[in-house]
Structure 1
Amino acid sequence: MGTSSRPIIGLTSYLEQAQTGVWDLPASFLPKIYFEAVTDAGGVAVLLPPQPVDSEIAASIIQGLDGLILTGGKDVDAARYGQEAHPTADVPRKDRDAFEDALLRAAIEQNVPFLGICRGAQVLNVTLGGTIIQHLPDVIGSTRYSAGSGVFLVNDVAVEPDTTLAALLGGDDSVAVKSYHHQAIDTLADGLIVSGRGDDGVIQAVELPSVDFGIAVQWHPEEDAKQDLRLFEGVVKAAARYREKRMALAD
């Protein structure tokens, strides 16, 4: 794949107070491992900072991309799915919630390939009308997914056959993943299907069959990207196909 033909992949980013040198100020950033995984998979990474947006602006942003990745981060605002926040919930990042909701809707409308990671899976479910389990230990009785202090825990996910996830994983019926989340999908949104679960029943992967490529996982594949690029290769290859179709129509 030539440099000029590599698909452009937009990655959403954090907006948090950050320190660098003498500066201590709000800043948009994203851990390097996310965009390294995109470039290693053959794409060109473009970071998308949270910003004021409406449907028209979101559509314009998506029109400039070949693929979209919704990255990890703070909990989705419980008010977006009609609930009061659990005591353990993060302070809402309402600007990021609104930005990613608009981008995702535009991506679905334009059939732009997308991958959701951890928070991204929850954003997808909430955007389409689903709800979230706000604190998994209350439901499953353990912290197997949320050690805290930046420590990722390994969990096994059973993969549903005949799904996009199964195809990306070469037909594997299970995969060991790195987890860092205390929330998960509860009521599944209309239109989504479950393509992966933990042995405790917790939803770990979902897909949107109405688009050519729309998948989201509850775990952090970027943490294993040096050993296993399959999910990133999946979205980049889908984005490359989308780019080729778009360029052919433009000729």
Structure 2
Amino acid sequence: MSSSDLAVILPRVIIVSRRSLRKNKFVDFVGEYHLDLIVGYGAVPVIVPRVAGVHTLLQSFEPIHGVLLCEGEDIDPSLYEVEETSLSNEELEEIRRLHVSDTAIDKEKDTIELSLARICLERNIPYLGICRGSQVLNVACGGTLYQDIGKELARCCPDEKKVVHMDYENYDGHRHTVKIVEETPLHQWFKESLKDDMEIQVNSYHHQGVKRLAQRFTPMAFSSDGLIEGFYDPDAYCPEEGKFIMGLQFHPERMRKANSDEFDYPGCTAAYKEFVKGVIAYQKKLNCATKVPKSLKLDKELEQKRNVIVRSFSLAKTLYAGGHNIRHLRESDLKPGAEFLESNIALSLQQENRLMQMGATVRNASSYMERLKLNAKREKLARVVMGKMTIEQLSELNMFYNMMGQICSDMLEMKQLQNVSVDLL
């Protein structure tokens, strides 16, 4: 099997590239750990470049089987803060100085990622948000964020419960405690590593976080200062069925022992493993929904029935084009078509249009045949009556109908001219 065949078969996970400021220098970056895990579990990463206008071209990246959004700069506060911020101008300026690499708002990235998140929510496409990606998910669903944890959350938190959520000098080595909520996916993934306190040490790298969690989500983990460190949609979580909507504020993919690829806990890779499982299941479900069924091979009896129905529609079409010219047409000839339509009430629009072209109005065939029979009786009766009339009476009757015909023609012509005049005004 060629590499091009694999690209078609394997499910596609959309990942947005990031541009981050580190040491006063812009560097294009996508975490290789994310890519390694996605590929390792059987999906293909498709990178969406963070360039102007790409949010209008997201349909070009179809089919989308999953979306993974990772770290990045702060989300524009105007996208989630409906009320005035409690932070003063001096505090906002201090935040910008302390977190210069994160407070450089990237509106194009915001637009791209929020668009992808909403596509996932509308179509139930698997979504995994890590760090900023979890914040994007919450904002997309109407939730809000702390613009700065240190200024907003820590000010009302006792000293013993305060948490350092980021360390610029020790990115991968920094850890802090989170408490896992029971009966959640995180509980299931880290179960063998949890003690009675239900706590693990996680790697995080953020100065913002979830303030008000969107209503559809359920928390999975909290830090000691009360910050939500993980959440999911319980109604959209079943990887085996292609359902996976989740946000994690910490970085399980980077929780590795110093100078080693060994993970801190066996459950660190579970989020990616289950996410890709959901992506694969979603791809299969999508393929089944769009797959065109092969033509059925009919046995002789079914083929004969089909021909009878097709003939019925064909006769109906000819009948309504000029029914009185069909000789020896019986009502039983139209009955198969009428019965077929009566028994098949769930037809697609394409099928209905096709049946109309074939004379699908056979639903009314019986009444039409009755009218033809009635007209024939009337014609026979008229011939009997007129046969008893004199030549003078027949001549006067003929002149009367000729005169009425001429009047009708004149009135029709007049009305048509009037309609044309109205159209021209």
- Superposition TM-score tier, normalisation by shorter sequence: 0.7 to 0.9
Q: Does 1:135 align with 2:148?
A: yes
Cross-structure match for 2:275: 235
How many angstroms apart in 1 are the aligned matches of 2:68 and 2:189? Answer: 16
Q: Does 1:147 align with 2:167?
A: yes
Aligned AA for 1:42? G
Q: Which moved more, 1:235-244 or 1:125-134?
A: 125-134
TM-score, L = length of structure 2 = 0.52
Cross-structure match for 1:193: 218
How many angstroms apart in 1 are the aligned matches of 2:164 and 2:27? Answer: 31
Q: Does 1:80 align with 2:79?
A: yes
Which digits, 9 at most, give the CA deviation of each residue in 1:169-203, with x for residues without a partner?
A: 45754432111111110011121211111122111
How many angstroms apart in 2 are the aligned matches of 1:104 and 1:61? Answer: 16
How many angstroms apart in 2 are the aligned matches of 1:233 and 1:175? Answer: 19
Cross-structure match for 2:249: 218
Cross-structure match for 2:183: 162
Cross-structure match for 1:13: 17
- Shift of the 129–62 alpha-carbon distance from structure 1 to 2, 3 Å rule, reads farther
How many angstroms apart in 2 are the aligned matches of 1:213 and 1:145? Answer: 26
Q: Which has the higher strand share?
A: 1
- Shift of the 95–239 alpha-carbon distance from structure 1 to 2, 3 Å rule, reads same
Cross-structure match for 1:22: none
How many angstroms apart in 2 are the aligned matches of 1:28 and 1:102? Answer: 21
Q: Which moved more, 1:129-138 or 1:72-81?
A: 129-138
How many angstroms apart in 2 are the aligned matches of 1:200 and 1:17? Answer: 28
Which digits, 9 at most, give the CA deviation of each residue in 1:122-174, with x for residues without a partner?
A: 11111111111122122226561111135242122222222233334457544
Considering only aligned residues, what root-mean-square deviation do their CA atoms show, in Å?
2.8
Aligned AA for 2:202? V
Aligned AA for 1:15? R
How many angstroms apart in 1 are the aligned matches of 2:61 and 2:143? Answer: 23
5+ residue gaps, structure 1, are 19-24
SS of the aligned residue for 2:212 comes to coil
Q: Does 1:183 align with 2:183?
A: no
Q: Give aligned pairs, total.
A: 243
Cross-structure match for 2:285: 245
How many angstroms apart in 2 are the aligned matches of 1:61 and 1:28? Answer: 22
Q: Which moved more, 1:211-220 or 1:151-160?
A: 151-160
Q: Which has the higher helix share?
A: 2
Cross-structure match for 1:64: 63
Q: Does 1:40 align with 2:40?
A: yes
TM-score, L = length of structure 1 = 0.84
How many angstroms apart in 1 are the aligned matches of 2:177 and 2:247? Answer: 16
Give 1 or 2 for the bigger CA radius of gyration: 2
Q: CA deviation at 1:112?
A: 0.7
How many angstroms apart in 1 are the aligned matches of 2:60 and 2:215? Answer: 26
- Shift of the 169–43 alpha-carbon distance from structure 1 to 2, 3 Å rule, reads farther
How many angstroms apart in 1 are the aligned matches of 2:189 and 2:285? Answer: 21
Cross-structure match for 2:132: 119
